[in-house]
């Protein structure tokens, strides 16, 4: 049985590499997997975080033809099912939390030491490195300090671990560092902590300098220093699992009351359709009950038998894939009502259908476009629709890109993880307000209203306010999405802004006008990346980009990209407002948008973009691509043997996109009208021809 399951997996994995129009299976990506097990069991676990990153196609990680399956996926899916069931059936202990504090990017008070070439916190006098931890509950924790030392004198460098100022352990740090080489060693202690805030300290306690050696000489041998590489706190440890609430979702009956076999059948009949998001066939029911019987026959108790069956559901292709098979081999077909339930829920929630949607799917009601529309509007009002912002908005609107930004700490010392978090909260809150509150989607371009917490309020120069959660505020001179500090940070290099990246992003993501890649002969290095003793010799960003515009091979794309990016030069590489560049020269934020006219700064640029017909068309195309898990497709029935192939080649989705766009514009650019237009469309309610003759 196991080998046949792997074969089915591999068969479907191979098919997913075919052209998008002909894919009939769609693997759950990481976000969809985590959300599905959340809604299936009520768990807070996110097992897919350990999975390999999902492949991208046309800007999204939910495109069916790109979602392959590797042997590593299979191993992790199997172990994730065990983790979920351990929690469900209260097996073992609760996984501990981990807090790690590393030296790189962290400064230490000068009277104690500093960070030395990212080697670690170097304590050259007696003192301590402090880390603050909030223990979620009372219990046992381990504190592990990775450290080495520059040795001198007769004693070994000493490390004391302290909790809230009191010594709890002392270690001789024998691992040595000679100024170039050394490997930090672990120094760990296990102890009890109460719930709440604790200050964990790594302290240097036995400073030494050889008085007979000069400070001007080599450090090794005369000056004893302690170097702390990282501090890790883990816990609480060995906490027994409590019965999980999701257990009742699975164990819907009591075997003592109706008998073990009857209860097992009832569990399979209720859990199976929820896990596979469709009714079970009688053959599937019989095979699962046979698996339960085999587990019991092998000596397992009743719970072990049920666990075996539940795991079989979780590792099945019917759980990991959304499978939509045609009524007959090779033919296009209408998606079944129950299949539409999954299409709709994974579009709007990135998760499994709820009970209402499953019931409507099972009854056949979802074949009615009016019912689909009613459900779509209901689902957009549900908190689970935030998945649209996290996944559609996270990729289309660049929210996820902020996670990968790495501003240079020396150039932008005020940027830290707290500021990154505040920036991301702003993007998420503003995205929810525009996508889910039925505001005009053009607010993405023009609004000066946004959501800021106390940290970002100060960053934007707004009056102080006490609430820590993001709240509505107006930020003058920051019109639209592309002036948000988080996005500007994501569209910069670590050491400088990038007008090209910023302009290219607006063209690609808001206008669906992707520039061609640069010719191989073009030097992409800017002058400010070249070392010089005279910063005044560095041309301005506008002067440097003018050289690209002068190149005939580059001019067409740069004429469109550069004015947009240069208008955003009034914001530095971490999104802070500025009026001069890094060399102190005034910044010119004027420009001309081809075919639209001249502008002075982001505010006027936003007004020009708001009337560009590419904006609504792009919003429809991006949402359509995300919703169907494929880009808009050409006619799959194209016959290359026709006398005039060009005459026969029509975009099969073009009319659909045009119709959706027309209704979207007429509604006042309400995002909900894009959603409704998509779910009512033939493209959403039908599937193209299958890849192979026959079914698995």
Cβ atoms within 10 A of the Cβ of 149, count? 25
Query: Taking 90 as the threshold, does the pLDDT of residue 198 lie above it?
Result: yes
Residue 571 three-state SS? strand
Residue 580, SS3 per DSSP: strand
Pair 596, 608: CB distance under 8 Å: yes
Checking if the pLDDT of 325 tops 80, the result is: no
On whether the CB atoms of residues 399 and 486 are closer than 8 A, the answer is: yes
Q: What pLDDT, on the 0 to 100 scale, is given for residue 11?
A: 37
CB-count burial class (<10 Å; 0-12, 13-18, 19+) for 126? middle
Percent of the chain at pLDDT exceeding 90 = 67
pLDDT bucket at 601, cuts 50 / 70 / 90:
very high
Summarize the confidence of residues 19-48 as an average pLDDT.
Answer: 85
Nearest to 9 by CA among 54, 74, 62: 74
pLDDT, tens digit (0-9, with 9 covering 90-100), for 441-474: 999 999 999 999 999 999 999 988 766 778 999 9
**What are the residue boundaries of the structural domains of the chain, listed by start?**
2-92+245-323, 97-235, 390-609
Please, what sign has the CA dihedral across residues 245, 249, 252, 254? negative
Q: What is the mean pLDDT of residues 497-507?
A: 94
Inform me whether the pLDDT recorded for 522 exceeds 60.
no
Residue 342 confidence (pLDDT) above 90: yes
Quick one: which of 222, 134, 26, 131 has its CA closest to 628? 26
pLDDT of amino acid 525: 53
**Residue 659 or residue 533, greater confidence:** 659
At residue 582, the pLDDT reads 84
Task: Give the pLDDT confidence score for residue 497 in this predicted structure.
Answer: 94
d(CA 200, CA 218): 32
Q: Where are the alpha helices (DSSP H) in 173-259?
A: 247-250, 255-258
Averaging pLDDT over each range in 211-220, 545-554, 565-574, which range is the top one?
Answer: 565-574
pLDDT of residue 658: 95
What CATH number was assigned to the domain covering residues 97-235?
Answer: 2.60.120.260
- Say if residue 548's pLDDT is above 80: no
Mean of the pLDDT values across residues 291-312?
A: 95
Question: What pLDDT is attached to residue 220?
Answer: 56
pLDDT of residue 201: 93
Q: Look at residue 545 in the predicted model and tell me its pLDDT.
A: 76
Reference 604, options 590, 614, 588, 615; nearest CA is: 590
Q: Evaluate if residue 6 carries a pLDDT over 90.
A: no
Where is average pLDDT lowest: 307-316, 325-334, 513-522, 546-555? 325-334
d(CA 220, CA 223): 6
Q: Which residues contact 410 (CB under 8 A, 6 or more apart)?
A: none
* Strand runs labelled E in 236-328: 321-323
Give pLDDT, residue 537: 65
What per-residue confidence (pLDDT) applies to 332?
62
Which residues are within 8 A (CB) of 673 and not within 5 positions of it... i.e. 6 or more apart?
Answer: 660, 663, 664, 666, 667
**Which range scores top for mean pLDDT: 152-156, 644-648, 690-694?**
152-156
Residue with the larger pLDDT of the pair 483 and 333: 483
Give Dmax over CA atoms of the chain in angstroms: 97
Give, in order, the Cα–Cα distances in Å from 666 to each of 67, 624, 669: 36, 18, 7
Question: Does residue 236 have a cis peptide bond before it, meaning omega lies within 30 degrees of 0?
Answer: yes
Grade residue 555 by pLDDT with cuts at 50, 70 and 90: low
What pLDDT does 576 receive?
96
Place of tokens 């102080």: 464
Q: Which pLDDT value is given to residue 515?
A: 82
pLDDT over 70, % of the chain: 83
Q: Residue 496's pLDDT is what?
A: 93
| Mean pLDDT score, 514-522 | 70
Mean pLDDT, residues 128-144: 94
* 688 pLDDT more than 90: no
- State residue 10's pLDDT score: 38
Q: What is the pLDDT of residue 392?
A: 98
Question: pLDDT by residue (tens digit) across 217-252?
Answer: 555 567 899 999 999 999 999 999 888 888 988 999
Q: Residue 119 has what pLDDT? A: 65
Report the pLDDT value the prediction gives residue 687, as an integer from 0 to 100.
79
Is the pLDDT at 213 greater than 90? The verdict is: no
Bridge partners (DSSP) listed for residue 240:
93
Give the position of tokens 């964990």.
Answer: 200
Question: What's the pLDDT band for 695 if we cut at 50, 70, 90?
Answer: very low
Three-class secondary structure of residue 279 per DSSP: coil
> Mean pLDDT over all residues of the chain?
86
For 101-109, the CB contacts below 8 A with 24+ separation are 101/131, 101/230, 101/231, 101/232, 102/229, 102/230, 103/228, 103/229, 103/230, 105/409, 105/416
pLDDT digits (tens, 9 = 90+) for 344-367: 999 999 999 999 999 999 999 999
212 token code pair: 């007979």
Segment 431-443, tens digit of pLDDT: 999 999 989 999 9
Burial class (CB in 10 A: 0-12, 13-18, 19+), 468: exposed
* β-sheet bridge partners, residue 144: 188, 232
Torsion angles phi and psi, residue 692, rounded to 5: -125, 160
């Amino acid at each position: 049985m196991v080998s046949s399951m792997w074969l089915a997996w591999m068969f479907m994995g191979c098919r997913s590499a075919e052209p998008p129009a002909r894919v009939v299976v769609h693997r759950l990506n990481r976000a969809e997997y985590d959300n599905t097990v959340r809604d299936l069991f009520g768990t807070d676990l996110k097992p897919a975080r350990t999975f390999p990153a999902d492949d991208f196609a046309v800007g999204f990680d939910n495109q069916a033809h790109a979602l392959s399956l590797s042997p590593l996926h299979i191993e992790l899916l199997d172990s994730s099912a065990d983790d979920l069931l351990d929690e469900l059936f209260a097996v073992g202990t609760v996984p501990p939390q981990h807090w790690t504090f590393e030296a790189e990017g962290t400064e230490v008070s000068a009277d104690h030491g500093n960070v030395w070439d990212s080697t670690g916190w170097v304590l050259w006098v007696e003192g301590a490195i402090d880390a603050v931890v909030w223990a979620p509950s009372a219990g046992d924790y381990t504190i592990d300090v990775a450290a080495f030392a520059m040795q001198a004198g007769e004693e070994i460098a000493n490390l004391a671990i302290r909790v809230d100022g009191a010594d709890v352990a002392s270690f001789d740090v024998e691992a040595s560092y000679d100024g170039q080489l050394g490997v930090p060693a672990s120094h760990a202690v296990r102890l009890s902590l109460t719930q709440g805030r604790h200050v964990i300290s790594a302290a240097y306690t036995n400073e030494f300098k050889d008085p007979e050696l000069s400070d001007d000489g080599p450090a090794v041998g005369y000056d004893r220093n302690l170097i702390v590489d990282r501090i890790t706190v883990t816990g609480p440890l060995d906490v027994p699992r409590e019965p999980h609430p999701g257990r009742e979702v699975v164990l819907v009956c009591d075997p003592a009351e109706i008998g073990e076999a009857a209860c097992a059948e009832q569990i399979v009949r209720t859990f199976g359709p929820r896990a596979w998001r469709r009714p079970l066939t009688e053959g599937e029911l019989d095979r699962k009950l046979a698996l339960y019987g085999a587990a019991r026959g092998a000596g397992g108790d009743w719970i072990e038998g049920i666990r075996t069956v539940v795991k079989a559901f979780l590792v099945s292709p019917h759980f990991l894939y959304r499978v939509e098979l045609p009524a007959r081999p090779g033919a296009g077909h209408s998606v079944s009502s129950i299949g539409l339930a999954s299409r709709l829920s994974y579009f709007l929630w990135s998760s499994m259908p709820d009970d209402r949607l499953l019931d409507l799917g099972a009854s056949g009601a979802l074949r009615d476009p009016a019912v689909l529309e009613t459900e779509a509007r209901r689902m957009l009002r549900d908190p689970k629709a935030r998945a649209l912002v996290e996944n559609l908005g996270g990729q289309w609107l660049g929210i996820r890109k902020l996670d990968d930004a790495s501003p240079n700490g020396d150039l932008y010392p005020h940027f830290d993880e707290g500021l990154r978090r505040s920036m991301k909260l702003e993007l998420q809150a503003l995205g929810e307000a525009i996508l889910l509150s039925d505001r005009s989607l053009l607010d993405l371009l023009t609004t000066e209203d946004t959501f800021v917490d106390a940290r970002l309020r100060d960053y934007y120069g707004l009056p102080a306010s006490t609430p820590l959660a993001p709240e509505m505020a107006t930020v003058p001179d920051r019109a639209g999405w592309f002036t948000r500090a988080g996005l500007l940070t994501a569209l910069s290099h670590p050491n400088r802004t990038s007008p090209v990246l910023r302009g290219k992003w607006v063209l690609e993501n808001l206008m669906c006008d992707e520039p061609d890649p640069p010719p191989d002969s073009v030097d992409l290095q800017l002058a400010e990346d070249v070392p010089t003793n005279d910063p005044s010799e560095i041309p301005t960003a506008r002067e440097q980009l003018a050289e690209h515009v002068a190149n005939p091979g580059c001019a067409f794309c740069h004429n469109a990209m550069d004015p947009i990016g240069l208008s955003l030069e009034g914001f530095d590489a971490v999104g802070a407002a500025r009026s001069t560049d890094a060399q102190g020269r005034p910044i010119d934020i004027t420009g001309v948008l081809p075919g639209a006219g001249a502008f002075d700064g982001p505010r006027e640029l936003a007004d020009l973009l708001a009337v560009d017909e590419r904006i609504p068309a792009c919003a429809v195309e991006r949402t359509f691509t995300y919703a169907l898990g494929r880009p808009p497709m050409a006619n799959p029935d194209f016959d290359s043997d026709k006398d005039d192939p060009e005459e026969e080649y029509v975009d099969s989705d073009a009319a659909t996109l045009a119709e959706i766009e027309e209704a979207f514009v007429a509604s006042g650019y309400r995002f909900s009208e894009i959603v409704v237009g998509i779910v009512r469309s033939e493209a959403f309610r039908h599937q193209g021809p299958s890849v192979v003759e026959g079914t698995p």
